Structure 1
Amino acid sequence: MANTETALKEALATIEGASAAALVDYTSGMALGTLGGSKTFDLNVAAAGNTDVVRAKMRTMEHLGLKAQIEDILITLSDQYHLIRLISGRGGNGLFLYLVLDAKRANLAMARHQLRKIEEDLEV
């Protein structure tokens, strides 16, 4: 079992092209842990903004009567991928992992696979 800091370090170390990672509480919009980012990319602002994305998708699914659970949400920019992975087990209700990837270096399928493994090992 990995704690937040260990999980974020693992994400940046093992996922090719990863430049930032955060564990976010989407009920409050607060980042519970962050790693990476830069002066021009504030992870706390990104965490709060992506909370709105998660909430909007959940509302839409509710309005549509969809019962499936969200595994992840992908946002593609011209030079980055932003991957949001909702935490499904062991007290993770209301949390998501947020990962920023360099689109030129990242293998999206492998990033999703590795982030899923990190999420399974995360103890919150």
Structure 2
Amino acid sequence: MNIDTALKEAMSIGGAVGAALVDYESGMSLGTNGGGDWLNLEIAAAGNTEVVRSKLRVMSVLALNDNIEDFLITLHRQYHLIRLLDAVKSKTSLFLYLVLERELANLALARHHLKRIESSLQI
């Protein structure tokens, strides 16, 4: 599946308000879908690259021999999911970023759908 299709799939997840595919090395979005006046996905995606970079640095310092699957940031009204693409398989520094309206979202299903999207995404 290509980037546009993957982001459309992500937006079909219950409660989704915005989705992006982001390169955490550059901070640039390769594509976005949704968002709006109150959610600038370009800024949010770039800001979340710092979250990913920080955690990767900590894992390196601690010499953790493991891989990050995803991050969950919970706000009062939203969930922000960051799903790292399998760097070994895809040879990239990319993550899927999904913002969900908390009242409408099923977090377990959203994580499951993002994992499925990740596995089908062709870069």
TM range, smaller chain: over 0.9
Tell me the equivalent position of 1:11.
Answer: 10
- Please give the alpha-carbon distance, in whole angstroms, between the structure 1 residues aligned to 2:90 and 2:46: 21
1:113 match: secondary structure? helix
Change over 3 Å in CA distance of 1:96–1:62 after alignment to 2: same
Letter in 2 for 1:37: G
Which of 51, 62, 65 matches 2:63?
65
TM-score, with normalisation over the residues of structure 2?
A: 0.96
- Please give the alpha-carbon distance, in whole angstroms, between the structure 1 residues aligned to 2:6 and 2:82: 15
Tell me the equivalent position of 1:100.
Answer: 99
Q: RMSD between aligned alpha carbons?
A: 1.0
Kindly state the Cα deviation for residue 92 of structure 1 after the two structures are TM-superposed: 4.9
- Please give the alpha-carbon distance, in whole angstroms, between the structure 2 residues aligned to 1:90 and 1:3: 16
Return structure 1 stretches of 4+ with deviation > 2 angstroms.
89-92
Letter in 1 for 2:24: Y
**Unmatched segments (≥5 aa) in structure 2:** none
CA contact (8 A) 1:90 1:123 kept: no
Change over 3 Å in CA distance of 1:82–1:103 after alignment to 2: same
2:90 match: secondary structure? coil
